[in-house]
Structure 1
Amino acid sequence: MKLSLERLFSAPALEGSSPQGLQFSPDGTRLTYLSAKNSGSSSQADALDLWQFELATGEKSVLASANQFDAREFSIEEKARRERLRLSHEGITEYYWAPNSQSILVPLAGNLYLLQLNVKSVLPVTDNATYETDIRFSPNSQQLAFIRDRTLHVMRIPEQLPRKGAEISVDRVLPEGTEELSYGLPEFIAQEEMHRYEGYWWSPSSDAIAFIRVDETPVEISERYEIEADSFSVFAQRYPFAGTPNADVALGVVELTTGHVLWIDVTRHDDDYIARVYWLSPKKIMVLVQDRRQQTLSYVLVEISFDNREVRTSVIMTEQCETWINLSNSFKSLSDERFVFGSERSGFHHLWLGDTKGHVAPVTQGHWQVTSLVGVRDDIVYFEALADGPFENHLYRVPINGGQPERLSQEGFTHSTTLRGQHVVDRYSAVGQPPRVEIIDLDTPLKHIITDEVSETKHPFHQYQSEIGSVEFGVLTAEDGQSLPWRLLRPVGVSSSRLCPVVVVVYGGPGVRRVNNEWLTPWHHYMTSQGYAIFQLDNRGSADRGRDFESPIYGHLGDIEVRDQLLGVQYLQSLDEIDSNRIGVFGHSYGGYMTLMLLMKSPGTFKCGISVAPVTDWGLYDTHYTERYLGLPSDNKAGYEASSVFPYTSALSDPLLLIHGMADDNVLFTHTTRLYKDLQDQGLMFETMAYPGAKHGITGRSTNIHRYRMMDHFLTRYLMDTTR
């Protein structure tokens, strides 16, 4: 059966139930996850319910259904937060286990609901017109903290919950938030670029909370338009453009019994970033501080005493790099003195054992990258890495004092895992294999399968398996001798006597890798079913290949990446089954920028290009991302100018389709409107589509069907019509 564009965005999802938000209960007796219904109208395709899998019985059941709750419009702050987290589903999109495993908190539609497992009831714990976000249980399960009206609140959970409509007493523990000042909310830059989505942290003893105060007054106000179908809004947004001031961020700790706040000075300069905050013990905090240029990372040990109203800070170690330091989420406190952390100090991201005296020792070593610290159990460290090649992420374990890692996951797939006690939940997939989820017992051969196999007739993708063409992986050699991983999907029936067009799907930006043996969006398989080959290459600058692979792009974007992608095109042109006169390019975000640079720097190489939500001028993008790779504008004016698309627009001669969301608050619509004007002034023709109300991700079923049909028609005209 042929895939259709409409089917890509209809229920049930082609990848199957594909559980999300996988979590073990703290006591390890059950796995909970979010999953959409596999039946019903297409409008229900994105609505997620909360499920459980009981390890003792192997039974699956729904714990809470999205239709149990009263829905209402998201607040502006919640919409922004969902955009930062790339959340597009409806229904239950997040939940939080109580540390005692007796209840689950579900934030939905602006209110909080407590699911009590012993009585199987769902009760509201808030019922008001104000949104609560960033909700967390205290470690002792007796309190909840959350953000309301831009400041931190704490609720003590009573043993007997009140009936619906009667809200539990809530204490505001810090001053009121204002439009410019917030307490406990992560600043825009932290969420969007540092991947720090927290603005407060419970102490292990549940009697204090570390938090950040954010003053956005220094950030320039710029007017951003959000254009809907029948209206528009003007937002006076504080957006930190490259080279301009960031928000002022301060770190404090509030003692809940007294309300007393200890302010902690952890930065050397006013423009340093508070990158990570970790409690080591009730009296010790580790704070990772990054300088504005992101070339120095300091580990600051904070020791607090509320009894004496004292704070002591000391820098226990510092990392430096001539280009930039990538922030790591790998950190695990073992005691008040020891911790496991991730660092690129060796040139690759590896795990290290550190202590509060500044001593470090390697846990993992080698010319490969650790991608995630999964957990520590009985002095054994579990981690994910690309240790067996560049295409598959696997689960490994190694003694905490170092040694030879042991691979635990199955070859032939890319894996993502979570550890709790003796159990690992493994979500894995391959190009031709939709995601599967299974639970592994580390102490026995026992496995639990959570999802259906694609070979089963009830799997939604089963009837389309014949549409999957062949896949090949390989590497090319860059001009400096480094290996560039690539992946090629060929359509069914292609041969040297039946040449096919190819679409180069490009991202190319730092912080991301694309060439993996993992399940792709069904659009890729739709394209191969239409007769296209799909090619992707990870150019230098891409993530998880080591510092030497990433750093060549420093100071000048859109140069090295373009040369590497063109090397990939040369390889395609050497293949007998590829029509070298019918090569197109498509990319979104940084990939949209790359599409423009490829068309403009190498005119005539591509038959056409599609650029979605592109950056066109790095001076219009934010501080932390842009300055990480280009430095400060005052230090590298030439690099900023050379990295913009505008010096090269006059060379545009190939057909171009530009697409952008008209409410994009990440890559502002201004990037594309400036390009419109520049191309129009030069009399250069292009095609375009702008989507009212759409953010950076451009979501929504009808919008996506239209967008991909537009792309389909464009590619058909230029790549399938051999008369052009």
Structure 2
Amino acid sequence: MTDIRMPLNRQALSDELNEFDKLTYAEEDRMLEEGDARHADHSSLTGVSGHNVRNRRDKNHSNYKQQRPSWRFRAPLILFGLLILVLVSIVFLALRTNSDRPFAGRDGEAKTINGRPAVTDRLLGLLPISKAEDIDPKWVQDSQAGFPDGSFLELDQHKFVVRQFGSTNSTVIADIKNINDKQGNAIEFSTWTASADLKYLLLTTNYQKGWRHSFFADYYLYDIKAKQAKPLANSVSDKHISNELGSGMVALTAWSPKGHSVAWVRDNDLYVTVEGTTEVRITTDGSYNIINGLSDWVYEEEVLGKGKALWFSPDGSHIAYLKFNDTLVKTFPLEYFSKFGENAYPRELNLKYPKAGSPNPVVTLHIVTPLSTNVTEQSSPVHFGIEGFADQDRLIVEVNWLTSNDTLMVRLMNRVQDIQRLFLVKGTQINGIFTWKADLVRDEATPDGAWHNILQPLTPILSSNFADHNDPSYVEIMDSANGYAHLAYFDDIGRASPTMWITSGTWEVTGIVRFDEAKDIIYFMSTEHGSTERHLYSVHLDGSGKKRHTPQKDVELKKVASVLNETYGLPLGDSGYFDVKLSPKCGYSIVLYTGPDVPYRITYKIEDSGWRRVDSVENTKLRESISKVALPQISYFTIPNQIGNDMNVKMIVPPDFDPSGKTKYPVLMQVYGGPYSQMVNQKWNLDFMYHLPLIGFVSVIVDGRGTGFKGRKFRNAVSKQLGLHEVEDQIEAGRWLGQQKYIDSKKIGIWGWSYGGYMAAKCIEANSGVFALGMSVAPVTDWRFYDTVYTERYMKTPVQNPEGYAKSAVSNMTGFSQSRYLLIHGTGDDNVHFQNSAMLVWHFTGANLSPKNVRVQYYTDSDHSISDNGANPQVFGLLTSYACDTFRLNCNQGFDRLDRRDLSIFEHK
């Protein structure tokens, strides 16, 4: 489940330049599952791109014939109104129970606390809940374009403009009014990307959603100098792949990092349009079972985390790509009842989906030269020898060019991912023809029999002033001897072990942002200041001069002074969760503070004398607004589990929380708990769990064993026994909560989505007496039903671990008969199949469970996000109403007498 957790290879999360802006996806994308399916842009990140499409239909796409102002000229806040909360609040107003209204004043008026009105669910829907705008600059990275470091391209007021941070200079390279088809009609496009040399634009039209990270579209190639647009595909597809989404459409595009060649995939064949003119077909064997350069389902979801399975060499002369042979992969039929039309017979889509223990795709690596005419070069795979694992035991998890055109590092793993082997692949040119040879340089088995984590693709260092090394060298994030992820330096690409560890300690490096080649400095993010925090650090390649850069001395936190509440227990001038982007030459830094307090963004110019501020967004109006209201209070702390491990906890309590014990509060815990995930972090996140205290709940999130950023031992405790120790820790946390004098120990519930739904079900199955309520959305209920790559990473195969699979399944119904349980699933879920919930209902039936104990709600045709046909707000309304009904709470806030005058404090003057 990439919803269930992160893909194996975080190359999906960072581009070939290792920009940390893509790495943030790994930290949150499959833990916070409340209906936010994310779908990444097709375009290669080596070019310049704009407006990534994420889970949108054609009819909802932005139209670039309409005005799209620059980030520079937008209001300094993005109003990301919490649509879920607004719609859910409407549901709440319709609920009726017999208990007192917990947060309404007399006659239904909003309650005041210390002279400030309490933010209720209705008021929260009108509050401008905002964040500092998280810009994603489209860096101009190629020196061919002739712009200095810190330059970026944007679409501003119908013009494509190159700007530079810290400067008022700008250069218009194209005007949208000139972008027309051959008939002179305006091309209405939804996304755009630019070639590295800024000579061409690639425009996306007719978007069609694929799986989580993929989509299909038609494309126009726009010649900026000639002011001419033409379809990217000159030819017409000569095949129609039956039972496939997007047949005949382009499934992937990727710019060359030099010049303006673009690779693309159509009907599972790879093409290259060379220098904007010549179309070259690389493969001809694409079919339902053979896929070239485009991830199949399991690689998109679990290994690469994206649709793109091709990599240009840095000079653009070669393309390495993966070929997937899915012939042996079994199909899973997905039935759609309405999404593709209401017909007498449902549409059936046969999805190639390998389940635990079944055949995987056979994957091979190919390297081609687009302009070569040599047939052998175009078709022969790279041979890894006997060390490259057998076909059914091989995963290719990383492909990384180390030099401009002739050297790659390729990482292979065995099927259950406890052995990894790195191969150095070098090309030799004879008579203009390249041949490629792979040599094993690293062979590593895990020390504890658990799994290898690929924390981030290795970072090539093409040139360095560091003594006693060979060019190129590389840095990689690896588990050190003490089990914590740190920076390891390999001074020679042929070394079998690190030359040195650049960092060390009982904390973890979470991502490399960039390497400053001119200064031999590595910028990286880490948890050194706390496992729930992220800060930017830098260190020299030799390990000297480590320095923390966040927050800077001029940070806005000191001005914020924690307008939210006084219960964080955090040094707010020093703590925080930061996301950082660096320009290609590390001359500029965009620092985004994302919490725990009000977010802000500052852009700095990095100079030898220090960091100089050149731009900022400080969220002043948001601070003013929320300082006038009483919001739920948030605190962070740790509690021990049964064996003494500290577990991170986030607790959110009502605005007028009474800790004396006079009031007994019900609790709803949210759990995710998947391996290497993290739910408890210091991000500003006013989500569903923040909403619950507004109707009388205490919300709690606990990260137990198996979760990330607390070392390998804590993380790998769940190996080969999913659903055991994670559940024990949630039960222990629930038991601890029940012992607090302000908690009603008989009203503790737990809910989760995806892996969290599985955890909630296992907590109820455990029949501990702690949880009176469980709610699962799209859960796995039997690991035999989930995909090979994810499941076998943690559980091995069913043949190797039959007892583990049996114990991990949700099968004992006793606990369900002693509590209330809500099960929600979408019938069109391609990730966690509806089969999981169907089998759980089978067990409910066999155990003759009463409708008083269990309720089941399915959503027709919805995928893992359960968002089709407006379903998502209903999901959260149902979760809330079921919890309120179980604990006999009145969720009606009593706003029938509230008028517009009560909301005037939220208006920006």
Task: Provide TM-score, normalisation by structure 1.
Answer: 0.86
Counterpart pick for 1:552 among 710, 717, 723: 717
| 1:275 is the counterpart of 2:438 | no
- Which residue matches 1:348? 484
- Which residue matches 1:84? none
CA distance in 1, matches of 2:523, 2:857: 46
Whether the 8 Å contact between 1:584 and 1:719 is mirrored in structure 2 is no
**1:452 Cα deviation after fit:** 5.5
**1:541 Cα deviation after fit:** 0.5
Whether the 8 Å contact between 2:179 and 2:222 is mirrored in structure 1 is no
- Which residue matches 1:331? 458
CA distance in 1, matches of 2:128, 2:333: 38
Q: Percent identity?
A: 24
- Which residue matches 1:254? 368
**1:598 Cα deviation after fit:** 0.6
**1:31 Cα deviation after fit:** 4.6
**1:54 Cα deviation after fit:** 4.2
CA distance in 1, matches of 2:627, 2:330: 51
Counterpart pick for 2:506 among 326, 346, 367: 367
**1:148 Cα deviation after fit:** 1.4
Aligned length: 677
CA distance in 1, matches of 2:750, 2:427: 55
Deviates more, 1:16-25 or 1:371-380: 16-25
- Which residue matches 2:530? 389
| 1:706 is the counterpart of 2:874 | yes
**1:213 Cα deviation after fit:** 0.9
Partner of 1:694: helix, strand, or coil?
Answer: coil
Whether the 8 Å contact between 1:96 and 1:136 is mirrored in structure 2 is no
| 1:511 is the counterpart of 2:679 | no
Counterpart pick for 1:653 among 818, 843, 856: 818
| 1:694 is the counterpart of 2:791 | no
In structure 2, the CA distance between the partners of 1:95 and 1:609, relative to structure 1 (3 Å rule), is: farther
Q: What's the CA shift string for 1:334-361, capped at 9, x where partnerless?
A: 1253111121143121111112221522
Counterpart pick for 1:147 among 253, 261, 265: 265
| Residue type at the aligned position of 1:473 | Y
| 1:192 is the counterpart of 2:358 | no
- Which residue matches 1:317? 442
| 1:298 is the counterpart of 2:421 | yes
Task: Provide TM-score, normalisation by structure 2.
Answer: 0.69
Deviates more, 1:316-325 or 1:645-654: 645-654
Whether the 8 Å contact between 1:540 and 1:549 is mirrored in structure 2 is yes
Give unmatched runs, 5+ long, in structure 1: 38-48, 71-89, 159-167
In structure 2, the CA distance between the partners of 1:609 and 1:61, relative to structure 1 (3 Å rule), is: farther
Whether the 8 Å contact between 1:467 and 1:526 is mirrored in structure 2 is no
Partner of 2:760: helix, strand, or coil?
Answer: helix
CA distance in 2, matches of 1:643, 1:102: 55
Counterpart pick for 1:487 among 650, 673, 676: 650
**1:5 Cα deviation after fit:** 3.2
Q: Which protein shows a greater Rg?
A: 2
Counterpart pick for 2:605 among 441, 444, 455: 441
Higher share in strand: 1
| Residue type at the aligned position of 1:437 | R
Counterpart pick for 1:718 among 873, 886, 889: 886
**1:552 Cα deviation after fit:** 1.1
- Which residue matches 1:46? none
| 1:237 is the counterpart of 2:354 | no
Where in structure 2 are the equivalents of 1:274-673 lying within 5 Å?
A: 274-281=396-403, 282-307=405-430, 309-321=434-446, 322-335=449-462, 337-346=472-481, 347-354=483-490, 355-358=492-495, 360=498, 361-377=500-516, 378-403=519-544, 405-410=546-551, 411-420=574-583, 421=585, 422-433=587-598, 435-443=599-607, 444-449=610-615, 451=617, 453=619, 455-456=620-621, 462=625, 466=629, 468-495=631-658, 496=660, 497-648=662-813, 651-673=816-838
CA distance in 2, matches of 1:567, 1:642: 20
CA distance in 1, matches of 2:627, 2:885: 25
Counterpart pick for 1:111 among 179, 199, 218: 218
Whether the 8 Å contact between 1:656 and 1:687 is mirrored in structure 2 is yes
Counterpart pick for 2:333 among 223, 239, 247: 223
**1:446 Cα deviation after fit:** 2.6
Partner of 2:818: helix, strand, or coil?
Answer: coil
In structure 2, the CA distance between the partners of 1:32 and 1:206, relative to structure 1 (3 Å rule), is: closer
In structure 2, the CA distance between the partners of 1:469 and 1:12, relative to structure 1 (3 Å rule), is: closer
Give unmatched runs, 5+ long, in structure 2: 1-80, 90-120, 142-147, 181-187, 208-216, 237-246, 463-470, 552-573, 892-909
Partner of 2:678: helix, strand, or coil?
Answer: coil
In structure 2, the CA distance between the partners of 1:13 and 1:311, relative to structure 1 (3 Å rule), is: farther
**1:99 Cα deviation after fit:** 2.4
Q: Which runs of 4+ in 1 moved over 6 A?
A: 7-13, 49-53, 58-70, 115-119
Aligned CA-pair RMSD:
3.5
Whether the 8 Å contact between 1:285 and 1:301 is mirrored in structure 2 is yes
- Which residue matches 1:207? 317
Q: What's the CA shift string for 1:582-638, capped at 9, x where partnerless?
A: 211110000000000111103532231210000000000011111111111101101
Deviates more, 1:279-288 or 1:102-111: 102-111
CA distance in 1, matches of 2:140, 2:128: 27
In structure 2, the CA distance between the partners of 1:666 and 1:721, relative to structure 1 (3 Å rule), is: same
- Which residue matches 1:76? none
Q: What's the CA shift string for 1:418-460, capped at 9, x where partnerless?
A: 2212112223211442x4433222214433446450x415x9x
In structure 2, the CA distance between the partners of 1:674 and 1:6, relative to structure 1 (3 Å rule), is: closer
Whether the 8 Å contact between 1:660 and 1:691 is mirrored in structure 2 is yes
Partner of 1:548: helix, strand, or coil?
Answer: helix
| Residue type at the aligned position of 2:256 | S
| Residue type at the aligned position of 1:393 | R
> Which has the higher relative contact order, 1 or 2, with Cα contacts under 8 A spaced 6 or more apart?
2
In structure 2, the CA distance between the partners of 1:659 and 1:131, relative to structure 1 (3 Å rule), is: same
Whether the 8 Å contact between 1:492 and 1:531 is mirrored in structure 2 is no
In structure 2, the CA distance between the partners of 1:567 and 1:286, relative to structure 1 (3 Å rule), is: same
Q: What's the CA shift string for 1:5-48, capped at 9, x where partnerless?
A: 3589989984357436444332533456899x9xxxxxxxxxxx
| Residue type at the aligned position of 1:334 | I
Whether the 8 Å contact between 2:522 and 2:541 is mirrored in structure 1 is yes
| Residue type at the aligned position of 1:98 | S
**1:192 Cα deviation after fit:** 1.0
Partner of 2:258: helix, strand, or coil?
Answer: coil
Q: What's the CA shift string for 1:553-576, capped at 9, x where partnerless?
A: 111111100111112112212323
| 1:25 is the counterpart of 2:150 | no
Counterpart pick for 2:197 among 97, 100, 103: 100
Whether the 8 Å contact between 1:330 and 1:372 is mirrored in structure 2 is no
Whether the 8 Å contact between 1:95 and 1:107 is mirrored in structure 2 is yes
Deviates more, 1:567-576 or 1:273-282: 567-576
**1:698 Cα deviation after fit:** 1.8
